[in-house]
Amino acid sequence: MKKEILILAVLAGHSVAGIAKADKDTRQLVELPKMMQQHMMSNMRDHLVAINEILVNMANNELDKAAEIAESRLGMSSLESHGASHMAKFMPEDMRHAGTSMHRAASRFAINAQEGEALPAYRALSEVTSACVACHAGYRIR
């Protein structure tokens, strides 16, 4: 867990430097076979839709629904449906750790949301989005 947090902090710090120089993309390029690239992009678009659905449910005080979406679409139990084991071999180790960190954070969010308190759930959700930001700041695919 501490290693994943350190990796995310390093990637996020690296991204700030990259943002300052918008004219050059300093993220690490990860080459993927075309089919895998399309699969990964599809997964990430679904992750974004899931986060939006979670936020809508949180705003409607439907924390149980938010928890179910988080676990089924982002959490550790979603890995098989995303084909994570097939994708992992194409990713650098730190990118895999960032992805695993996001999935674990989503499962922790789901537990927090099921407890019914919105503020701790929002805090837990920020760990999910922080993992997304760190990965996107550190890597790009082609």
- The pLDDT of residue 82 is 82
Mean pLDDT of 113-141: 97
Is 80 exceeded by the pLDDT of residue 60?
Answer: yes
Q: 16: pLDDT confidence band, cut at 50, 70 and 90?
A: low
Is 60 exceeded by the pLDDT of residue 106?
Answer: yes
Sign of CA dihedral 88, 89, 94, 97: positive
- The pLDDT of residue 85 is 85
- What is the rounded CA–CA span in Å between residue 58 and residue 93? 33
Which tokens is 115 given? Answer: 């407890």
- The pLDDT of residue 3 is 54
- Angle value at C-alpha 111, between 128 and 49, nearest 5 degrees: 40
